[in-house]
Amino acid sequence: MLTVIGAGFPRTGTSSMKAALERLGFGPCHHMFDVGSNSDRARRWAPLASHDTVPDWEHVFEGFRSAVDWPASFFWRELADTYPEAKVVLTVRDPRAWFASMRTLISSGPPRLEAGKLAPETAGLMENMKTTRPLLERMIREGLGTDRPFGVVPDEQESIAAFERHAAMVKESLPPERLLVFDVREGWEPLCRFLGVDVPAGEPFPHLNDSKTMQTSIDRLMDGENIGLPFHPAGSTPA
């Protein structure tokens, strides 16, 4: 059962949020990394590419207590209805900085990985991407408001407008006592206060998977290196 639902778009600090929630006792926390790295998880998500699918959310999130990033945040409204006691965190950042990060992800990620020679150990990543590609296409089409082909960077103004509409919709749909609008640069205090837990003493808030680190990781994958999927070392700026 989910106790915390992340409603923020990808590249709004979701990797950092995953690490923070797990540190605060709300883990395991589901993230897109879990879909890419686990074929069973990818298969559970794949049917949701269709609007006709009636999701079994308990099956989709079996073993998880929280969720951030797409695909979970794409379905934030359904999850908020399914888990009425769960708190919702909308991660936000400057819209233009967000689009710049998304542009790097879209232009440098899937197209290059599909064309590249990966280490045998990472072959499962490609299979899981194929399994969930229709869902990814749906999320990009409906979430970003674009009909451009998969892997093609969408229009900046349209994407920023979609980003801002999404944030406004979340804010309008949930009562303030249930929703935290959160920039990960704010650190532990607002998040811990919202969740009713203590601030970890002497620990910096995790800042993971910034755009530069992501690009380096893609380059390493393209070179055939098996770098693993989950998180990159701390010390970078928000994802």
Per-residue confidence (pLDDT) for residue 230, from 0 to 100? 43
Any residues with CB less than 8 A from the CB of 131 and at least 6 apart, and which? 39, 42, 43, 46
The helix (run of H) or strand (run of E) holding residue 4 is strand 4-6
CB-CB contact of 85 with 3 (8 Å): yes
Q: Is the peptide bond before 10 cis (omega within 30 degrees of 0)?
A: no
- Indicate which CATH number applies to the domain containing 104: 3.40.50.300
The domain total for the chain is: 1
Global pTM value: 0.87
Specify if 51 maps to a domain: yes
Residue 54, in any domain of the structure: yes
Domain hosting 166: range is: 4-222
CB–CB of 8/79 below 8 Å? Answer: no
What is the full DSSP assignment across 84-132? Answer: TT-EEEEE---HHHHHHHHHHHHHHSHHHHHHS---GGGHHHHHHHHHH
pLDDT tens for 14-59 read: 999 999 999 999 999 999 988 988 899 999 999 999 999 999 999 9
CA distance 91 to 211: 17
